[in-house]
Amino acid sequence: MCGIFGYIGHQQALPILVEGLRRLEYRGYDSTGVAVDDGQSIQTHKTVGKVADLKAILPPSVQGTLGIAHTRWATHGGVTQVNTHPHASEAGTVHLVHNGIIENYQQLRKGLLKRGIECVSETDSEVLAHMIALEIESGSTPLESVQKTLRRLRGTWGLCILFKEHDLLVCARNGSPLIIGQGEGETFVSSDPHPLTTHTQRVVYLEDGDVALIKRDSFSITSIRGHAVEPSITVLEEAWGEAELGDAPHYMYKEIYEQPDALRQCIAGRVDREMGTGRLGGMGLDHATLVQAPHVRLLGCGTAAYAAEIGQTLIERMGRIPAVAHISSEFRNNDTVINPKAIYLAVSQSGETADTISAIKEIQLKGGQVFGVVNVVGSTIARLCGQGVYIHSGPEQSVASTKAFTNMVAALTIFATQLGRTRHLSKDDGRELIHHLQQAPHLMETYFEDTGPIGEAVDLLCDAQSVLFLGRGLSATVAKEGALKLMELAYIPCLAYPAGEMKHGPIALLEEGSPVVVVAPNDHLKEKTMSALHEVKARGAKVILIHEKGDSIAAEGDVSIAVPSIHPWLTPLLTVLPLQLMAYETALRLGRDVDRPRNLAKSVTVE
Ligand code: GLU
């Protein structure tokens, strides 16, 4: 969540910091601030609101080639000016920005009070500035003072720290991502690779427990205990630098329509049409593991959890072994039994989802092997797992996930096919599936040529008190993803239910005119889904029906939206598209901030 950007170099720092913040905006935040060192003093500017609001209050020129900047997503203390980062020590010796949560901050705060130091903000972060300053006053170097302070903390941190009268930055990571970018005579720090790509491709991802001392043309890394750490340089993928909006009205719009190309990227080189199977090289799974695995568990949060749920269904169907999708935050707390022979898949767009990271660590501790299904190359989950599959969506900047969802589904479909072919899936069935998967990008394009009466659906949705989404089998999960999208973007309460379960509860909500979205592709469950459709219509509900083109059920919807026909196991790749567009268009109609919906963050790096 939130973001950090830091700079030390030969250029004026302020414009670089503000641009860095702008490129971090997609992660979601509520307030923002910057501190620049001009060699004599450190000037701080902060505000509640957007980076544009910060720009508006900045003086015309702020000199200085060293500075730190932050977008805050409040965890401790309200969204106020005084809680906004950077935070400073009493005498202004130390200024810092922090991502994460300091769990023992109250105890540390009491310790400071005893020494006569009172925090001015309500945040957990501010204690760190005072503690580090106390270490400086007692003669420690900046690096030592940070190391000593960190040894007393419990919690998570991404930290970037400025010291008055010291021409350097100190950074540290524990549980919140931080990346150092090395340019020519300048060094950058960012919580996200995306803003670095315009400056340099050469980066180092800090690991948990790392502390970095950063100068203009060099940096060194140590552990919290002061032991030297050898940095490992990564070269960033160029595509991450090209994620500009272009002519598109919003990132979400751009990303919805990028799905055919993104899907091609995901599939390319990973399927064997002749053998009717998948080839996920990065998984490094040998035949024996695939054949002997007793079950598969999948982990994810939000949209990734729904992709995992679709993966679960496909793995069971093709692999004929039990598969279960878990919400990461629940999984890690429930002391789930870990069988080291099982296959564990961790699904995350950002690769930084804190709950999923904790779940992975728990599985690894108990001897389980976890494979990442991740978009961001080099992200924490990718590195923690060391094996897995990159979904290759390219940068996804809208908070609401679209192209990452379809690519997660595609990657899991390829995995299920590979698993299935080592077991019970016949060559012919595998071939047919792979053939359809390869057609899917083109079928997405066909749908985008005529998206159907989305506007009419929006007419029904935009005044609704609540919306019910229904489907069966794979489409029950698509219904959940559609409900999540509409709720996130339009702030309308949405409920998704397997269609068969509707009569056991949610039917009570229906009254004359209630909108109900029914996802009913032409699979073996369609007839049963249609029974639920008739039950809701009998109560006066208005049905928005997602169906396959040419299907006579089109006549049953009050608004009917057709998607091209595809293999019944691949329908989520197409039926989700109108749901994404409906959420996008409804949010626009209601005047919502489509790319940065309130209270949400793109990569959820706190538990
Ligand atoms: N816990 C800190 C605060 O509430 C940092 C939150 C963040 O990661 O932005 O200020």
Per residue in 136-168, pLDDT (tens digit) is 999 999 999 999 999 999 998 999 999 999 999
Judge if the beta carbon of residue 124 lies within 6 A of ligand 1.
yes
Nearest to 376 by CA among 478, 566, 273, 239: 239
Domains of the chain: 3-236 (3.60.20.10), 251-444 (3.40.50.10490), 454-589 (3.40.50.10490)
Rounded Cα–Cα distance for residues 130 and 112 (Å):
8
The pLDDT value given to residue 138: 96
Closest Cα to atom 7 of ligand 1: 99
Edge-to-edge strand ranges of the sheet holding 467-471: 494-498, 467-471, 515-519, 542-548, 559-563
Give the number of the atom of ligand 1 that is nearest the alpha carbon of residue 176: 8
Rounded Cα–Cα distance for residues 521 and 579 (Å):
13
10 Å CB burial of residue 247 (0-12, 13-18, 19+) is exposed
If DSSP codes are grouped into helix, strand and coil, which group holds residue 161?
Answer: strand
Give the number of the atom of ligand 1 that is nearest the alpha carbon of residue 29: 9
Judge if the beta carbon of residue 1 lies within 6 A of ligand 1.
yes
Testing ligand 1's pocket by substitution, the residue of 76, 96, 605 carrying the most ligand atoms inside 8 A of its CB is: 76
Q: How far is the CA of 599 from the centre of ligand 1 (A)?
A: 13
In the residue annotation, 602 being an active-site residue is answered as yes
**Do β-strands 542-548 and 559-563 pair in parallel, antiparallel, or remain unpaired?**
parallel
Bridge partners of residue 163, in order along the sequence: 94
Q: How far is the CA of 128 from the centre of ligand 1 (A)?
A: 12
Edge-to-edge strand ranges of the sheet holding 66-72: 42-48, 31-37, 66-72, 3-8, 187-190, 179-182, 202-205, 233-235
The active-site residue out of 2, 160, 385, 494 is 2
If DSSP codes are grouped into helix, strand and coil, which group holds residue 477?
Answer: helix
The pLDDT value given to residue 483: 98
- DSSP structure string for 302-351: THHHHHHHHHHHHHHHHH-S-EEEEEHHHHTTTT----TTSEEEEEESSS
- Residues 24, 194 contacting (CB under 8 angstroms): yes
The pLDDT value given to residue 588: 97
Closest Cα to atom 9 of ligand 1: 72
In the residue annotation, 301 being an active-site residue is answered as no
The pLDDT value given to residue 499: 95
Q: How far is the CA of 304 from the centre of ligand 1 (A)?
A: 24
Q: Tens digit of pLDDT for each residue in 13-29?
A: 999 999 999 988 877 78
Bridge partners of residue 161, in order along the sequence: 96, 170
10 Å CB burial of residue 429 (0-12, 13-18, 19+) is middle
The pLDDT value given to residue 243: 62
The active-site residue out of 50, 254, 403, 602 is 602
Rounded Cα–Cα distance for residues 73 and 153 (Å):
20
Judge if the beta carbon of residue 159 lies within 6 A of ligand 1.
no
Rounded Cα–Cα distance for residues 532 and 468 (Å):
12
Q: How far is the CA of 464 from the centre of ligand 1 (A)?
A: 35
Testing ligand 1's pocket by substitution, the residue of 30, 101, 154 carrying the most ligand atoms inside 8 A of its CB is: 101
Which stretches of the chain drop beneath a pLDDT of 70? Answer: 1, 237-243, 602-606
Testing ligand 1's pocket by substitution, the residue of 2, 604, 607 carrying the most ligand atoms inside 8 A of its CB is: 2
Rounded Cα–Cα distance for residues 345 and 296 (Å):
8
Edge-to-edge strand ranges of the sheet holding 157-163: 87-88, 94-99, 157-163, 169-174, 210-214, 219-223, 228-229
Q: How far is the CA of 69 from the centre of ligand 1 (A)?
A: 13
